[in-house]
């Protein structure tokens, strides 16, 4: 049935876990575009045939049906692509400018380019705020304390704090650090916040 492949793209996004990005379905998009092209060609042929015939109102309902299917395919493709970009935009705020490899592998080349342009625009805007700029991604939730207790989830090596001291982040080690310095590492999955 016309439009089923386009609907499957939407359902694929809906079935994905909250905040996750399913792999880009290039094959599904290609099939929807091919179906759309076939529908368009059939409409063109019927319109040309109808214009040369007199009293060919019977073709009008078929042309209208196919045109409605064309518009539905277009809406579904745009919704699929728009929602993927919204997920990617949210991941930029969550993970920063460097995405984990498993997420990058699920993105198309165009989505990667869009992500890079969005990151550059966001970074440029943040640099323009104040004298030294303002990192809008730093505190996603209002902080209650300046310092937090963190546990290292994997070996990271040496980490230099803002005051110049070095902290060695080894797996399962615990540290009391400034929240502002820990947030990026927490988002990357290197540290976890220990709630007391």
Does this model's pTM top 0.85? no
Determine, yes or no, domain membership for 82.
yes
β-bridge mates for residue 131, sequence order: none
Same domain membership, residue 152 and residue 119: no
Last residue of a domain, one of 127, 158, 174: 127
Paired tokens of 188: 């990357």
The DSSP line for 66-120 is: HHHHHHHHHHHHHHHHHHHHHHHHHHHHHH-SS--HHHHHTS-HHHHHHHHHHHH
For position 51, which CATH number holds? 1.20.58.1030
β-bridge mates for residue 160, sequence order: 166
The per-residue pLDDT for range 23-40, each reduced to its tens digit, is 999 999 999 999 999 999
Same domain membership, residue 74 and residue 21: yes
Determine, yes or no, domain membership for 141.
no
Same domain membership, residue 108 and residue 153: no
Decide the pairing of beta strands 147-152 and 166-169. unpaired
Same domain membership, residue 45 and residue 17: yes
Q: Round to whole Å and give the CA distance between 186 and 182.
A: 6
Determine, yes or no, domain membership for 61.
yes
Q: Which residues contact 153 (CB under 8 A, 6 or more apart)?
A: 171, 189, 190, 191, 192
Report, as an integer, the average pLDDT of 122-151: 80
Q: Which domain holds residue 181?
A: 147-193
Position of tokens 């590492």?
Answer: 185
Asked if pLDDT for residue 176 goes beyond 70, the answer is yes
Q: Round to whole Å and give the CA distance between 2 and 69.
A: 6
Determine, yes or no, domain membership for 66.
yes
Q: What is the pLDDT of residue 56?
A: 63
Determine, yes or no, domain membership for 14.
yes
Q: What is the pLDDT of residue 8?
A: 93
The structural domain count of the chain equals: 2
Task: Please say whether the beta carbons of 107 and 95 come within 8 A.
Answer: no
Same domain membership, residue 98 and residue 14: yes
Asked if pLDDT for residue 130 goes beyond 80, the answer is no
């Amino acid at each position: 049935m016309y439009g089923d492949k386009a609907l499957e793209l939407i359902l694929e996004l809906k079935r994905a876990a909250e905040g996750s990005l399913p792999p880009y379905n290039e094959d599904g998009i290609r099939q929807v575009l091919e179906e759309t092209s076939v529908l368009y060609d059939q409409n063109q042929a019927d319109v040309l045939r109808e214009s040369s015939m007199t009293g060919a109102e019977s073709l009008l309902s078929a042309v209208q049906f196919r045109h409605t299917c064309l518009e539905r395919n277009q809406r579904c493709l745009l919704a699929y692509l728009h929602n993927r970009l919204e997920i990617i935009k949210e991941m930029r705020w969550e993970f920063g400018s460097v995405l984990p490899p498993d997420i990058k592998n699920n993105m198309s080349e165009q989505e990667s380019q869009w992500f890079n342009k969005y990151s550059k625009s966001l970074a440029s805007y943040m640099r323009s705020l104040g004298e030294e700029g303002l990192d809008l991604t730093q505190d996603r939730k209002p902080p209650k304390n300046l310092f937090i207790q963190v546990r290292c989830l994997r070996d990271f090596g040496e980490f230099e704090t803002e005051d110049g001291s070095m902290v060695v982040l080894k797996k399962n080690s615990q540290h009391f650090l400034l929240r502002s310095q820990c947030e990026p590492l927490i988002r990357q999955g290197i540290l976890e916040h220990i709630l007391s």
